[in-house]
Structure formats: C-alpha cells, structure tokens
Amino acid sequence: MADLRPYQKNGIDGLRAAFATGKKRVIFKLPTGGGKTVLAEHIIKMATSKGKRVAFVCNRIELATQTSRRFAQAGIAHGLMQGQNSHSIHSQVMVCSIQTLSRRRAQDFDLVIIDEAHGVAGSTAYKDLIFALNNVPVVGLTATPYSKGLGKFYPEIQGPLFETVVVGATISELIQDKFLVDVDIYAPDAYQPDLSQVRIVAGDYDERELGVAVDQPKLIGDIVAHWQRLGRGKPTIVFATNIAHSKHIVAQFVAAGVAAEHVDYLTSDEDRAAILDRVRRHETTILSNAAMLAEGLDIPQLEVMILARPTKSLIRYIQQAGRILRPYDGKVKALILDHSGTCSRLGFPTDDIDLDLCDGKPKKSGEGEKKERLPSVCSGCGILKEPGQHECPSCGFKPERKAVVEIGEGELKPMTRK
C-alpha cells in the first residue's frame, strides 16, 4: 500500500479531530488526483485493525468494481455488494454500489466511507442509508462539496447530512508541490453575453437574470481545427452536449485521420475497458463522451480537455477538468480548449474555492423555478406522448436523436486569470 503524503496524513489527523469533537458525518475535501482512494485505504486499515467493520460506498456500478480492484491490489480483503457480482457480503470490509445497497437491508457497519459524496444530497438512497445508520461515523470523500443541501438539517438524524468539512489540501498547494499540473485555457475571445436586459440589484447584476443571460447554447470555433493547432497528438478527452454530438465529434476526428473513440452508458463493460486501455497505450488519441467520464476516470496520460458543452454547474466543471490534471511523464501543463464559454463564466478550475456546506434553505423569490414540460406528438402515429417520453407507447417509434448543436465562427484565444 502506498505511503501517505504529508497532506494526507494531516487530513487523517483532521478527521480524527472532527470525530473527537462529537461530529458523526464529515466531508473530506481533496482535489481530483489528490489520492482520496489511497487515503481511504489507510483509514480502512486503521479501522479494521481495531475490529471495526467498514463500508466503502460508490455512486456507480463501474466505480464499485474499480475500487474493488484497487483494494485487492492494496492487500485489503473485502466483499463486493454490486448486483450479480456480489460476493462475501459478510466481510469485515465491503465495497458497495449504492444502487445495490439501497435494495438490501442496511447491515451493521462501524464506519461508512462515501465516494463522490457531493451526490449525497440529491439521492434518496444515500439519505436513507445515513438515516438508517444514524450513529455510525460517515466520511464523505469529494473534490467538490458544493451541492445544494449537503449541510441541510434533517429531523431523522437531528442534524445536517454533513456537519463539517476537513480540507486535505487546496488545488494550488497540490500544483505547487507537483502532485497536480496547472492548466492553460483557450476560450472564445468574442464571448460577450448580452447583459443589457439584466436588472441591477443592490449595485450588482441580478443573479438569476444574469445566469439566464450567460447560458448560451452556441459553441464557438471548429473543434478539430483548434485541436490540430493547439493540442495535436496529445491524449484528449472530449465532453460533448449529448451522445449523438459525441459520436459526431468522433466521426470528424476520424475523417481527419485521428484515432478517436466514443463511450456512453450503452457501451459494454468489456468494450469500455478496451477503449480506455487503448487510450492508456496511446493507440487512441481522442476519447469522447457526454458526461459519464466526469467522475472516477483515472488516466494520467490525458492532457487536453475539449469542452464542447456549456455548463453552469461548478461541480461538473471542476470534476471534468480533474481528468487532465494528474501528472504524467512529459506533461508540464494541461490544456483546456473551451468552445462553450464555460471557462469565462466559471473561471479557472485550478482556482481555490472556499465555500461553506449549503444548508438547503430556499433561494430568493423567483430563483430555481422549474419550467413546465409539455407533451409532444409522435411523428410516427400522431398520438400525444407524455413529457420526456422518447419511445412512443402506441407504435414504438423512436425518433433518432440528432446532434443539433449550433457552431459559430470564431477563434479560441488564451484566457488569463482575473
């Protein structure tokens, strides 16, 4: 098992101190690539040496199997609770997918470690787990503890989901100590949202109206041409707007003679593993997806990120950028080619952000209102379909999803910190 870095040791000391004060549920914040899994392995070793039973809970099936392999390599005997792959379910250490764990009666654990814990507040399964194990210490691992409601009070546990945050290290510290690399960004030089209709409230733009004004769906600049000019030959991950768009981007790269492949949730485990292995061996240069690779992907060779989807989500943005910040032989800096204007809105993903846990209190009046989704007419038989229904319940017709993404002319320019 790998030795702990100084900041990881300090982080464990911070967790001990938090639990010593009576806290039960603690977020451990560490940037992507900082070694959260290694830290978890040491925590598990310490807990099991005292006879404690530990659950390590993952938010996706593939992450559970990936963690199981990591634990086996680290010499941690464990069972797996993940659908049909479950085995040794009464082991002292259990790796669980939340999907399977939520379908089974909560077992007796002395410590629960939740990976990618920023997703806890939005998941009924995670909240039910925490409610069922009210008096059990919980460590939530995440690089982005910014989700709404992570610090919300719940009467079922007479407290918030998570009570405090222990910061292992900041991203600037990890870059300074060469545990991560910094990033250069090329973004649309002409990205100037129209703010003429945004109201001024208390001397500043109204946040809700500003958010609407800067949420532009148009992408700027030719993706392949910019990559050939700025990132040619470097292992690259692409985040597209949807599956069809991702496949379209791959087709453009292949037509230009660049080895490119696409993955999505329909890609089999075997095919996905083979594609990722080809990326690691530099046989595939471009790895494209819509959103599924934003978390848990560990390929240090990746050096360039093409952002071909707008997002206002700080969590998604930082998680995506984390795929290219791990150091690797010959990698001096990572590179983001942002065709969406996202970086101009959210800043550098390597900036340190200090935020308190969100208590889930309602926003100001008018914020966060949901738009009503309307029924649609099936183009196959003419029946009215429920909102969001892709396949027609009457005739079974499924319209082909198209990559309807508007591309505007423009050139990406170096982005400077503000």
Give pLDDT tens digits for 227-246.
999 999 999 999 988 888 89
Q: What DSSP designation does 168 have?
A: -
Per-residue pLDDT band at 27 (split at 50, 70, 90): very high
Per-residue pLDDT band at 376 (split at 50, 70, 90): low
Structure-model confidence comparison of residues 416 and 94, the more confident one: 94
Residue of 70, 158, 170, 156 lying closest to 113 (CA atoms): 70
Pairing relationship of beta strands 200-201 and 204-205 according to DSSP bridges: antiparallel
Give the whole-angstrom CA distance, residue 412 versus residue 340: 10
Give pLDDT tens digits for 146-169.
888 899 999 999 899 999 999 999
| Amino acid (1-letter code) at residue 410 | G
Question: What residues does 95 pair with on adjacent strands?
Answer: 56, 80
Cβ-based neighbours of 370, under 8 Å, separated by 6 or more:
none
Within a 10 A sphere around the Cβ of 162, how many other Cβ atoms? 26
Contact between 103 and 129 (Cβ < 8 Å): no
Name the pTM for this structure: 0.77
3-state secondary structure (DSSP) of residue 323: helix
Decide: residue 297, CB within 10 A, 0-12 exposed, 13-18 middle, 19+ buried. buried
Q: What is the dihedral of CA 256, 259, 265, 269, to 10 degrees?
A: 160
Q: In what order do the strands lie in the sheet with 54-58?
A: 79-81, 93-97, 54-58, 111-114, 138-142, 25-29, 164-167
Average per-residue pLDDT for the chain: 84
C-alpha to C-alpha distances, 340 to 19, 217, 248, 359, nearest whole angstrom: 43, 7, 17, 31
Sign of the C-alpha dihedral computed for residues 100, 104, 107 and 109 taken in this order: positive
Find the range with the poorest average confidence among 61-70, 158-167, 255-264, 354-363: 354-363
Decide: residue 306, CB within 10 A, 0-12 exposed, 13-18 middle, 19+ buried. buried
Tokens 């990120």: give the residue. Answer: 305
Tokens 């559970």: give the residue. Answer: 64
Give the whole-angstrom CA distance, residue 10 versus residue 169: 9
Q: Is the pLDDT of residue 285 over 90?
A: yes
Give pLDDT tens digits for 68-81.
999 999 999 999 99
Measured CA angle at 328 (ends 308, 246), to 5 deg? 20
